[in-house]
Amino acid sequence: MIARVPERFSTARLVAGPMSDDDFEGLRLLHRDPVVMRTLSATGEPLGEDETRGFIERCRDHWLQHGFGVWTFRLEFSDTFIGYCGLKRTTIEDEACIELLYAVRASHWGQGYAGEMAAAVVRLGLDKLGADSLVSFTLPVNAASRRVMEKQGFVYEKDIVHAGLPHVFLRRRPIPAEAGGVPPA
């Protein structure tokens, strides 16, 4: 596999690496938490161990096929599993897109970790991968997730139906260098 983006990198507080079997325990705990899964799984229900193994396998296949994918993030000072964030090829309403996705352990919500992960991953997607745009979508009730997107410069584009449920769909376009490459506040 030729990685098109760094497989490992650090942010201010976090260390990122490509999702692997080593992440099973952290992911198992994330996936079995009903508070997290209410807005994450297609059914709104927690996932079992087989589904978590399947998720890891799909993430690994994506890295192998495309040279980018989902990273796991851990706290630098303690190696604690925080969650994941990444980029995934998908098709929405017949458009081939690169989707930004993320989830954080409920015990660590509200500390800016999703924003920290998303900022790094968006930069890699646009600067290193050279994507024309990135997209992200969430349930209309998921105000925290929409806020994470909007803080990274994603703009509402349309309502869509995804996994049989209404979602808001937002898009992040590269910001011209003359604008300083900084998303609007």
How many chain residues touch ligand COA (CB under 6 A)? Answer: 20
Of these, 52, 138, 154, 170, which contacts ligand COA (CB under 6 A)?
138
Of these, 4, 6, 7, 39, which contacts ligand COA (CB under 6 A)?
39
Site membership for ligand COA, residue 144 (CB under 6 A): yes
Site membership for ligand COA, residue 111 (CB under 6 A): yes
Site membership for ligand COA, residue 47 (CB under 6 A): no
Contacting range for ligand COA; rule: CB under 6 A; set: 35-43, 45-53, 58-66, 125-133: 35-43
**In terms of Cα–Cα distance, which of 72, 59, 57, 55 is closest to 17?**
72
Of these, 42, 143, 163, 165, which contacts ligand COA (CB under 6 A)?
143
* For ligand COA, the closer CB: 31 or 62: 31
Of these, 17, 115, 174, 183, which contacts ligand COA (CB under 6 A)?
115
Q: Which positions touch ligand COA (CB under 6 A)?
A: 36, 39-40, 102-104, 109-115, 138, 142-145, 147-148
